[in-house]
Structure 1
């Protein structure tokens, strides 16, 4: 299965999650994060097929009577929040797990990114992506809606991890695009000092940043008993 394809059980679990910035006071509008929500908004956005866990009150029963299929009405309101997903695509992120040689850290990062976009889409939040690779950053500015999600997934599906990221150089390209009230999630193995420096710089600027470190099972458990030589691929 592609790392960008979310299994049905994962989609079901994602419905119980939400993205809420820690600095809620920086948002405009009422409440901590109530200014844009799929399903509970003011303006009709689209129909979509009913999925397990959806609120039955959102089912369009007239459409069901005509088509004999369940459809849910999505609505939206404007949101002051933009989610930025920053993915480390340096060579070390291509490391695979011994237990699953077809699955790399970069695959895991893309799966997490797909899940985060699904949550943002359900909330009605805008989301954008930065992929920092050896040949320079890919920057997709925040947008909303299923079409924007599909465009981001298509772009991520073409990418591979490799090279050495130039975080200090590229921060000027994408750091200025991130608003002070935006939520930033950084997906990395944490082995690049330049990446950690960039994360610290974004955090010091007052932005709401969450760093998720992605490791293989052997790196997490370190089950080695004898001598081993480790090679830095970057």
Structure 2
């Protein structure tokens, strides 16, 4: 299994990373879509690289001298939504000697892999990015072109600012009327928050919400360099010094924070997976999918 450091060698090519991560991953996000009875023709669209040749309409090729792919719709489908926290705290880097690795890189890479699985299954998928007190929204769609749109947005995402407030998020969620799977990647250092309220609200509306809580190894085991001062990137007044007599306080506060968060997730039937960004990404992806019953 490839390590996270090996994947970082391809950090500028999400397509290449996806191929490495998904190699040998045989399952998808949910049960496969039906074929045959119940599949209704919807429309033609121009062939794009990555489309399956068996979906090409060869009779139309003979008439139009161009490749077209048949699209099908079903009476019910589940859209997949990728939810990325790109606030300033997600720029926290690994302090384990893995150059270029931070929480945002890990989050957007694992969400890109979810998008690739959704495309492979023929599902519609969209993207929500929370950054700089705003929400960037890419509507759900299917196909290779949608994949390129989503990858481009993920690649451009930069960590900055704080989470949008509840009102901004509520006004930015037009997808809540349709059944959805929501894969949200964040460090969830802000909980409760507008983001937390939005995700809990989606679950109460019977959407399938799954959280990935990302931390660095140093954050998990308080292995920061001693006598070093750290500033909260989302709160200029938040300064913490890791001295021998303060590490215990940090651990206590951290454990209590995530215990409250996970308890609220359990009470709302929201699977939440905690992972360190130094862990191999393929293993974390598999564990995240397994939480939905797809081991």
TM norm structure 1:
0.73
Aligned partner of residue 130 in structure 2, secondary structure: strand
Match of 1:88 in 2: 85
- 2:108 and 2:174 map into 1 onto residues whose CA distance is 24
RMSD across aligned positions (CA)? 3.4
Shift in CA distance, 9/155, structure 1 to aligned 2, threshold 3 Å: closer
State the match for 2:109 in structure 1.
Answer: 111
The reply to whether residue 78 of structure 1 matches residue 88 of structure 2 is no
Contact preservation (8 Å) 1:106, 1:161: yes
Check 1:231–1:189 CA distance in 2 against 1; reply closer, same or farther (3 A cut).
same
Stretches of structure 2 lacking an aligned partner (at least 5 in a row) = 1-10, 57-68, 235-295
Match of 2:166 in 1: 168
Q: 1:196 to 1:49 in 2, by over 3 A?
A: closer
Q: Which has the larger radius of gyration?
A: 2
Residues 146, 225 of structure 1: alpha-carbon distance in 2 compared, 3 angstrom cutoff: closer
Is residue 18 of structure 1 aligned with residue 28 of structure 2?
yes
Deviation per residue, 1:152-188 (Å, 9 max, x gap): 2112222201001114122223333233411111110
Q: What is the rounded CA distance, in whole Å, between the counterparts of 1:33 and 1:179 in structure 2?
A: 23
Does the 8 Å contact 1:89/1:161 carry over to 2? yes
Aligned residue in 2 for 1:124: 122
C-alpha separation in 1, matches of 2:35 and 2:127: 20
Query: Using a 3 Å threshold, how does the CA distance of structure 1 residues 130 and 222 change in structure 2: closer, same or farther?
Result: same
CA offset at residue 213 of structure 1?
A: 0.7
Distance 1:144 1:129 in 2: 12
CA–CA distance in structure 2, aligned partners of residues 225 and 161 of structure 1: 23
Q: CA deviation at 1:87?
A: 0.5
Return the alpha-carbon distance in structure 2 between the equivalents of residues 93 and 120 of structure 1.
25
